[in-house]
Structure 1
Amino acid sequence: PGAFWRGLRLLAVDGTCWDVADSEANETAFGRPGSGRGSGRSAFPQVRMAALVEIGSHAVLDAELAGCRTGEVTLVGRLPRSTGPGQLVLADRGFLGVALWQAFTATGADLLWRVPANRVLPVTRQFRDGSWLSHIRASGGPARKEPVVVRVLAYRLKDRAGEGETDGYRLVTSLLDARRYPARQLAALYRERWEIESVFAEIKTHQRGARVVLSSKTADGVHQQIWAHLLVHHALRELMLRTAATRGLDPDRVSFTETLRSARRSVTVTPGSFSP
């Protein structure tokens, strides 16, 4: 569907982590997660990042950074500042909650999020396309008395061999009009959420380098390096869009890795010709 679907700009939110230099300052600022291998500590301190990405262009529109002990839900909760009317935000099941849902919808944005397997969503109204109206509630506090109305979609996917079906999926959306936004199309659209994983791979694997640890030994330096990577990625993606537009191509036909190689060649300078 590209960057838009039925007039809605497609965005996605998710989180990832960056390994940073093993220094006392970085460990103090960001923390060090457990390794899960018996030693109790990972090799490097880590920075957690939550990002808001435009699906069609792969452009990172906003991001939040914190230590690894800060949860993704907390960081994503700071990103509604960059959303608004005319947008459809996709997210995985780990983010579904009343407070976060309301934070995004209060900006005018619409949502399409996956539902955890254990969430109960009673039917209050059934639609012809198989979707139904339901509600979600906060786990406690005053907000529990004010349920949020959502529309639920349930479906199954064929396995890769085409011989059977995978486990069922459930999505909830703020798009309550079943005629204007058919359940089958929304289910197919949700696959686009995985594009944000491709964005993280572009930045952390191709641009930064696979298994590369950020070199700065101070918190300020780490922040500068991460934001520099995000800005370079944004510039590359903008270059790709402009190139595609001038040649009448679909932006997906332009290779990110080839664009990255070309950019690196273009900024190579003769030693001594550029002042430090």
Structure 2
Amino acid sequence: MIEYTVATGDGTSSETFRLVTTILDPADATALELAAVYQQRWEYELSLKEIETQLLAPGAGLRSKSPKMVRQEFWGLLLAHYAIRALMVEAADTDGIDPDRLSFQRTLNIVRRQITDQAAFSPLDTRAGDHQSHRRDP
């Protein structure tokens, strides 16, 4: 068992974690390496949870039936997740904050609203220059 403490970014508090592993030889991996890898794994787990619970409809799985189409659908979900996360990083950089402080669900809701709003106008309006924004006020 490896016990380590992680301080918050501002250093005002910390939390102790215990990591249980079957690696017994410190030459195979140091405690510091295992703690860092665990953090990465946690990020992957959270990303998969966001895809399963927020990008997919509740209780829904992948709709495709063939292995090729399942792979395509899965890559599409990963791409959508990446695009939303990229928007979050851009927004956080603009405001000078940590992207982890932004809500994936709220960002997804904003993206869904924008996609719906942009589909609510006729292409003829844009050619004539008559298109007005259908954005909702926050």
Q: Same fold (TM over 0.5)?
A: yes
Distance 1:218 1:170, change over 3 A: closer
Match of 2:72 among 207, 224, 232: 224
Between the two proteins, what is the percent identity of the paired residues?
34
Distance 1:227 1:173, change over 3 A: farther
Q: Is the 8 A contact 1:155 1:170 kept in 2?
A: no
What letter corresponds to residue 185 of structure 1 in structure 2?
Answer: L
Match of 1:258 among 106, 113, 126: 106
Unaligned runs of 5+ in 1: 1-153, 158-165, 177-182
The answer as to 2:16 corresponding to 1:169 is no
What letter corresponds to residue 186 of structure 1 in structure 2?
Answer: E
SS at match of 1:234: helix
Match of 1:270 among 120, 126, 129: 120
| Structure-2 separation of matches of 1:261 and 1:251 | 17
Q: TM-score, normalised by structure 1?
A: 0.33
SS at match of 1:249: coil
What letter corresponds to residue 270 of structure 1 in structure 2?
Answer: A
CA-CA distance at 1:225 after TM superposition:
1.8
- Greater share of helix: 2
More relative contact order, 1 or 2 (CA 8 Å, 6+ apart): 1
Match of 1:186 among 33, 38, 43: 33
CA-CA distance at 1:184 after TM superposition:
4.8
| Structure-1 separation of matches of 2:81 and 2:97 | 20
CA-CA distance at 1:208 after TM superposition:
1.2
Unaligned runs of 5+ in 2: 5-17, 124-138
CA-CA distance at 1:255 after TM superposition:
0.8
CA-CA distance at 1:185 after TM superposition:
3.4
CA-CA distance at 1:175 after TM superposition:
8.1
State how many pairs are aligned.
108
What letter corresponds to residue 21 of structure 2 in structure 1?
Answer: Y
CA-CA distance at 1:205 after TM superposition:
1.3
SS at match of 2:74: helix
What letter corresponds to residue 208 of structure 1 in structure 2?
Answer: L
Correspondence list, 1:18-37, <5 A: none
The answer as to 2:54 corresponding to 1:202 is no
Aligned to 1:238: 86
Q: Is the 8 A contact 2:19 2:35 kept in 1?
A: no
| Structure-2 separation of matches of 1:233 and 1:210 | 16
| Structure-1 separation of matches of 2:73 and 2:19 | 40
